[in-house]
Amino acid sequence: MRRIRITISYDGTDFHGWQVQPGLTTIQGTIESVLAGIEGVPVHVTGSGRTDAGVHALAQVAAFSLANPIPLANLRKAMNRLLPRDIRVLEVEEAAADFHPRYAAVAKTYEYRILRGEVCPPFERRYVHHHPYPLDEARIFELARLLEGEHDFSAFAASDERDSQGRSKVRRIFCSHAERRGDYLTYRIRGSGFLKHMVRNIVGVLLEAGKGNLTRDNVLARLEPGCKIPAGPTAPARGLFLVKVEY
């Protein structure tokens, strides 16, 4: 049995997220269906993380085991021929038998794109959060840096079925940075790992600060251990991209 690692890119607009869900079209389910046709038996695909419904990926990493001796280049061609055009396999390579794309990852980078122009072009609407309203962008740039370091991100995490396991919600953020380029306000964050809706909730909080509804102290309070402030507001999924997974 071979362990195969793939790097994939996808437009998440028309999918109900990464994870398989009964009766719903998902990224994982679509890839598994294609691989089952190639292998002749069900194939389980594991991703580096579970992107939400409507979230996109420039370079998601996934892995699966395959008995089929098909050459890697041919496997990539076969998968791209069978997959919908919203999902593309960029790279295929052999991996160690115990490779797990989530547990082996040391860092991930996400990017959130906000269009500040008055009019959102129709060809951009699926990939940006259109916010043409007044914002104190300098405040957003300043407060984005507060997320760097090791913090308890409970106040930025949506409820998860795994919460009952008592897992820590402390994460280390290596870089949290916002900048304006032309009509685009882009927020980029790189960290050791991320919680459910964490990046979208961070963006939502930064936008509220930019509107003047939250202060620096309000943001810092959300990083205090044991903070009970409810998560949110949650920025729309369409502006979020998984950019890179590092090993």
Please indicate, yes or no, whether residues 142 and 78 belong to a single structural domain of this protein.
no
Does residue 152 carry a catalytic annotation?
A: no
Please indicate, yes or no, whether residues 73 and 146 belong to a single structural domain of this protein.
no
Q: Which of 50, 73, 95 is the last residue of a domain?
A: 95
* Residue 102 forms part of a structural domain: no
Please indicate, yes or no, whether residues 78 and 124 belong to a single structural domain of this protein.
no
pLDDT digit string, tens, across residues 31-70: 999 999 999 999 999 999 999 999 999 999 999 999 999 9
Residue with tokens 């959300």: 222
For residue 67, what are the domain limits?
Answer: 2-95
pLDDT digit string, tens, across residues 173-224: 999 999 999 999 999 999 999 999 999 999 999 999 999 999 999 999 999 9
Please indicate, yes or no, whether residues 124 and 150 belong to a single structural domain of this protein.
yes
Q: Please tell me which residue in 52, 136, 152, 163 is annotated as part of the active site.
A: 52
- Note the pTM of the prediction, 2 decimals: 0.94
